[in-house]
Amino acid sequence: MGVVLITGAGRGIGAATARAAADAGYDVAVTDIDGEAARTVAEELPGNIRAIGVEHDVRDEEAWAAVFQDVERQLGPVDILVNNAGMIHTGWARDLSGDQHRQMVDVNFLGPMYGTLEAMRRMKERGGHIVTVCSMTSFLPLPGYSSYGATKHALRSFINTVAIEERASRVAFTLVHPPGVRTEMLEQEKRDPSAVAAFAEKSVGPEVIAETIVRAFKKRPLVGRPAEIVFPALGGRFQRWVGAQAGLMRLAMPFVLASGRRALRKG
């Protein structure tokens, strides 16, 4: 089937994607800044495929080449890169420190940018597929998510632009935009009253996103025309449209916040 490299795969969406990819017959490189978590996930994958766990800080530009070399040495050339690693600090922009804003830029934007550039260098001649986990916040200005959403806006713009630039190559691109996903990150958001807007929409399990990502492996988009997958399919498209209308977002926000508070009260 091929070799898949998944970042941030020690837990959450990444770990679920590693399991789904292994079940589909792919060899899997599980990478995470927590090397022990990455190795644990890799060891628990089924024995009919090859899997390795690699400690990897996506913020380190030079580390990307070393990780690809390690994976290629043990599993062979990487056919699919899944840019999944991410992190969040919620809160009003004025209440977050410069370091907190910078951490999100480094992990959520620069990390997958470095990975995409390294993957393109290796895939340009033989072909490949770069799948990037973005967010519905790349379309929506949500209070409490200013820098997080900004990093996802930037990431979406970068991937869409690179896909056009590389249309003469054999590299395909897919963007996946999940809603709230039931992971440790979402539990962290629940504890912050400023993050209530994200709970206006029903959350989904990481397995739902993982299955969608693996289906995207098989339904490879046309080169030069990146695929974008939103959740839920119909509601996501509506949110994408509303998010582009600044006036509508201002009008809708009181209702969004009220809906989020109701959802949190229900647990």
Please write the tens of the pLDDT for every residue from 170-211.
Answer: 999 999 998 766 656 655 554 555 555 554 466 678 899 999
Q: Is the pLDDT of residue 5 over 70?
A: yes
Sheet holding 80-83, edge to edge: 51-55, 27-32, 3-6, 80-83, 128-133, 171-177, 227-230
Mean pLDDT of 59-74: 98
Question: Which SS3 state, helix, strand or coil, does residue 148 take?
Answer: helix
- The dotted CATH code for 3-266 is 3.40.50.720
Least confident of 61-70, 110-119, 139-148: 139-148
Mean pLDDT of 237-241: 55
**Helix, strand and coil percent figures for the chain, each rounded to 5:** 55, 15, 30
Burial class (CB in 10 A: 0-12, 13-18, 19+), 155: buried
pLDDT-based confidence at residue 252 (cuts at 50, 70, 90): low
Q: Which residue has the higher pLDDT, 241 or 144?
A: 144
Mean pLDDT of 47-54: 96
Q: How many angstroms separate the CA atoms of 58 and 32, rounded?
A: 8
Report CA-CA distances (Å) from 114 to 58, 68, 111: 8, 12, 5
Q: How many angstroms separate the CA atoms of 116 and 122, rounded?
A: 10
Q: Which residue has the higher pLDDT, 137 or 211?
A: 211
Q: How many angstroms separate the CA atoms of 69 and 20, rounded?
A: 24
Least confident of 95-109, 134-148, 209-223, 225-239: 225-239
Please write the tens of the pLDDT for every residue from 75-92.
Answer: 999 999 999 999 999 889
Q: Is the peptide bond before 193 cis (omega within 30 degrees of 0)?
A: no
Q: Which residue has the higher pLDDT, 186 or 129?
A: 129
Q: Helices 35-43 and 12-23: crossing angle, nearest 10°?
A: 30
Predicted TM-score (pTM) of the model is 0.85
Model pLDDT, residue 234: 45
Q: How many angstroms separate the CA atoms of 105 and 86, rounded?
A: 10
